[in-house]
Amino acid sequence: MSFLPTILNGLMVGGLYGLFGLGLAFAFGIMRIVNIAHGEFIVLGAYIGASLLSVTHMPLPVVIALVAVVTFGLGWALQTVMLNRMIGPNPVPAMVATMGLSIIIRNALVEYYGADIRAIDIGPLQDEGVSIFGTSIGVLPIIIFCTAVLLFVLMHLLLTRTTLGRAFRAAADDFEILETLGFNRKRVYAIAMGLAVTLSAIAGLLLAIRSSYSPYSGVERLLISFEVVIIGGIGSLRGSFLAGLFLGVVQLIGLRINPNSGPLFGHLAFFLILLAQQANLPGLFIRRRT
Amino acid sequence: MNGPISSRPIFSANAGLIGGILLVGALALSAVLLPVDRRLPMEICLVLAMAQGWNLLCGYTGLLSFGHQAFIGVGAYTLFLVVNTLGISPFLGLAFSAVVSAAVAVVIALLLKGSRDAYFSIGIWVLADCLRLLVGQWDFVGSSQGMVLNAPDIDPATFGDAVFWAALALVLVTQFAIFGLLRTRFGLGLMAIRDNETAAASVGIAPGRSRVIAFVASAVICAVAGAIYYLSVLYVDPAGAFDIDWQIRILFIVIVGGAGTLEGPLIGTAIYFLLREFLQDHGGLFLIVQGAIAALTMLFAPQGLWGLIQARTGWQLFPTKWVTQ
């Protein structure tokens, strides 16, 4: 048995893991806020998308766009109503508050949709495949992977070519200077959180199309996001993308070797890298503003 | 020793301590005397002990751990392993839980040595998840099926009471040992590190070592409490013992009651169990309310309920703050 299909599939999933990490890193890099509810927003994207698909029968791209709009609003509201009041050198209040939010979302999903594991059915596209390097790869994973790459490219253009993107990067470096230039810091933060949640929710919807999900998937997806951030570094799109690919491959190979291992191999790979980083690159770790 | 005696710093409001001792004593006495099923009082004692242990870490060193369920699981599994293989008394087995969890905590402290803030919080969460998955793969402890305690010398008539006394002893020792610890030079050093690490280091306090000691102490308390809990049900499985819900419970209690105070977890525990008893027929509503209260506390009273009360009144039932007389 060749590992090539596993590796290719790992890369396809990895693109989405990269988006998970990008969303988390984006919020952390700009606002120093660790959104513990990140995994729940990823799952929420899947549930909103699935409901829209089953109720309205709209084409998938339209549903993705609608999920993006809704989740952007959620992220924006989260930052405006709650997190903008907790900005400061102490990261604990925001982490605990988003932890509380994650419990609310998780259990609200259980109450409303039930705790069972679901999958999204989008018709015949799911079963089609093409042959690459002599192995068969589904068309759907390829489309999903291309969508993930497209989102990375769009984020790159946003951050480098637009005023808003420059404001984000400036906010990450020094928000006081940003304010002297006439930007409203809290509004920039709200848009950033909206974008972070949108990216993750779209990735969550795409992941749900090619695998299964339940209200309890959020914890595992948060941990994956965080591992991507640590492996890839904060403030690097390419880092997040490559780290996502790496974790995707490691996880699927792990599941091939031991089908019951769940995310164990990803966790272990993450710890090896964490230890290597601690030995060599202390600069990668958080530097607290003083 | 030249200064006038009247300017020596003393602990403020030592009179409050009498109130604190009376309160804890009354609670303990009511748990002992009230002729009710002792399972709930036992659980209250254990969860309070875990909360005080976690509070020692979060409230007094500022390290927010999302992975203390690891120690609850390690404590419980160690107990079951030594009792089932060595055939010793379960209550002797608790000592093994303490030792093994301390060793695990030291290893985790080494692994996460360079990690601060969110990196520590989620790093330890990932480690706890690793332990859950590894134990779930380990056939000798029943993998994901869990294992049953084989202790033939247990007398069903007195076992429930014995476990309750162990839980009560643990929470009393924890409460007063942490109180005593915080009044020593070491405890004052911990609070100094939390408030200003650079300043603390400049007067000769070792931040790294103090944090590790607090971390190991909190791990051992959670491990012994977890071991007693699973001893009382005579069965342990990885999904339950390494469940993040343990951590959420502890976090809720400490944060809502007031982190960094010894009174806070008492209030938090009371709120947690009152909420649970009132909402137990409403399924997921209890958890949703719990999450909402935690989030609202962070918005409107980040110091927790006891923090609010203390700011208004200056009360200290367990005085650990110094004032100059």
Q: What is the pLDDT of residue B69?
A: 96
Burial classification of residue A102, based on how many CB atoms lie within 10 Å of its CB (0-12 exposed, 13-18 middle, 19 or more buried): buried
Locate the chain A residue with the closest alpha carbon to B294. A100
Say whether pLDDT at B7 is over 60.
no
Mean pLDDT of A23-37: 89
Distance from CA of A108 to the nearest CA of B (A): 7
> Is a pLDDT exceeding 80 seen at residue B321?
no
CB < 8 Å to A260, chain B? 136-137, 144
CA distance B108 to B122: 13
**At a CB cut-off of 8 Å and minimum separation 6, what does A25 contact?**
A228, A229, A232, A234, A235, A240
Tell me the C-alpha to C-alpha distance, in Å, between residue A79 and each of A66, A193, A195.
Answer: 20, 6, 11
- Number of Cβ pairs closer than 8 Å across A and B? 128
d(CA A241, nearest CA chain B) in Å: 20
In the predicted model, what is the mean pLDDT of residues B34-54? 87
Structure ipTM:
0.87
B110 neighbourhood in chain A, CB within 8 Å: none
Identity of the residue in A28, A96, A286 whose CB atom sits nearest the CB atom of B251: A96
Mean pLDDT of B245-270: 92
Q: What is the pLDDT of residue B3?
A: 40
pLDDT at B309 over 90: no
The rounded distance, in Å, linking the Cα atoms of A228 and B150 is: 43
Q: How many domains does chain A have?
A: 1
Average pLDDT of A35-60? Answer: 92
Residue bearing the bigger pLDDT, B315 or B192: B192
C-beta separation of A43 from A217 below 8 A: yes
Which of A137-141, A230-234, B166-170, B320-324 comes out lowest in average pLDDT?
B320-324
Cα distances from A116 to residues A24, A144, A216, A218, B305, in angstroms, run 27, 24, 9, 14, 37
Radius of gyration of chain A (CA): 19
Please report, as a single letter, which amino acid is at residue B108.
Answer: I
By the CB < 8 Å criterion, does A177 face chain B? no
* Digit-coded pLDDT (tens) for B179-237: 999 888 888 888 888 888 888 888 888 888 889 999 999 999 999 999 999 999 999 99
> Which pLDDT does position B11 carry in this prediction?
57
Residue found by looking up tokens 């792990």 in the block: A254
Predicted confidence (pLDDT) at residue B264 exceeds the cutoff of 60: yes
Domain annotation covers residue A68: yes
Tell which wins on pLDDT, B15 or B250. B250
Interface mutation target, options A78, A86, A96, chain B, most CBs of B under 10 Å: A96
- Percent of chain B at pLDDT above 90? 46
What is the percentage of chain B residues whose pLDDT exceeds 70?
A: 93
- Residue B121 near chain A (CB below 8 Å): yes
**Looking at residues A228-239, what average pLDDT do you find?**
85
Q: Is the pLDDT of residue A290 over 50?
A: no
pLDDT at B155 over 60: yes
In contact, A87 and A190? CB cutoff 8 Å: no
Local confidence band at B13 (pLDDT 50, 70, 90 cut-offs): low
Range of the domain at A87: 4-123+130-284
Q: What is the CATH number of domain B20-320?
A: 1.10.3470
Report the CATH number at residue A214.
1.10.3470
Q: How far apart are CA B69 and CA A125, in angstroms?
A: 43
Q: Do the domain assignments include residue A69? A: yes
Look up residue A282 and give its DSSP letter: G
CA distance B53 to B45: 12
Nearest to A209 by CA among A25, A35, A63, A3: A63
Place of tokens 């990375």: A152
Instruction: Tell me if B133 and A261 make a contact (CB, 8 A cut-off).
Output: yes
Interfacial B residues in 187-246 facing A (CB < 8 Å): 244
- Summarised one tens digit per residue, pLDDT across range B97-153 is 999 999 999 999 988 887 777 888 888 999 999 999 999 888 888 888 889 888 777
**Is B320:B262 a contact under the CB 8 Å cutoff?**
yes
Cα atoms in the 13 Å half-sphere on the side-chain side of B164? 17
Residue A228 — very low, low, confident or very high, per pLDDT cuts 50/70/90?
Answer: very high
- Predicted local confidence at residue B6, as pLDDT: 43
Q: Taking the domains of chain B in order of start, what are their residue ranges?
A: 20-320
**Residue A289 scores a pLDDT above 50:** no
A152-162 pLDDT, tens digit per residue, is 999 999 998 99
The answer to whether B294 contacts A99, with C-beta atoms less than 8 Å apart, is yes
Q: Give the pLDDT confidence score for residue B315 in this predicted structure.
A: 77
Q: Is A281 on the interface with B (CB under 8 A)?
A: no
Q: Residue type for A251, please?
A: Q
Model pLDDT for residues A263-279, shown as the tens digit of each residue: 889 899 888 888 877 76
How far apart are the CA of B299 and the nearest CA of chain A, in angstroms?
7
Q: Which residue of B has its CA nearest to A100?
A: B291
**Any A CB within 8 A of B292 CB:** yes
| Minimal CA separation from B199 to chain A, in Å | 13
CB–CB of B122 and A34 under 8 A? yes
Q: Which one is predicted more confidently, B283 or B126?
A: B126
**pLDDT value for B284:** 82
Q: What is the pTM of this model?
A: 0.88
Average pLDDT over residues A188-207: 94
- Among A80, A92, A220, A280, pick the best mutation site for testing chain B contact (most B Cβ within 10 A): A92
Considering only residues 238 to 277 of chain A, which have any Cβ-Cβ distance to chain B shorter than 8 Å? 258, 260-264, 267-268, 270-271, 274-275, 277
Q: What is the pLDDT of residue A1?
A: 57
CA B116, distance to chain mean position in Å, is 21
**Does A290 fall in a domain?**
no
Assess if residue A289 is contained within a domain.
no
* pLDDT of B274 above 90: yes
Taking only the tens place, the pLDDT of each residue in A61-106 is 899 999 999 999 999 999 999 999 888 888 888 999 999 999 999 9
Residue A181 — very low, low, confident or very high, per pLDDT cuts 50/70/90? confident
User: What is the residue-averaged pLDDT of chain B?
Assistant: 86
pLDDT: which is higher, B163 or B118 = B163
- Compute the nearest-CA separation of A193 from chain B (Å): 17
**Confidence grade of residue A285 (pLDDT, cut at 50, 70, 90):** very low
State both tokens at B290: 């719990």
A219 to chain B, minimum CA–CA distance in Å?
9
Which range among A149-163, B4-18, B302-316 shows the weakest confidence by mean pLDDT?
Answer: B4-18
Residues of A (87-116) whose Cβ lies below 8 Å from B: 91-104, 106-108, 110-111
DSSP assignments along A49-89, one per residue: HHHHHHHH---HHHHHHHHHHHHHHHHHHIIIIIGGGG-SS
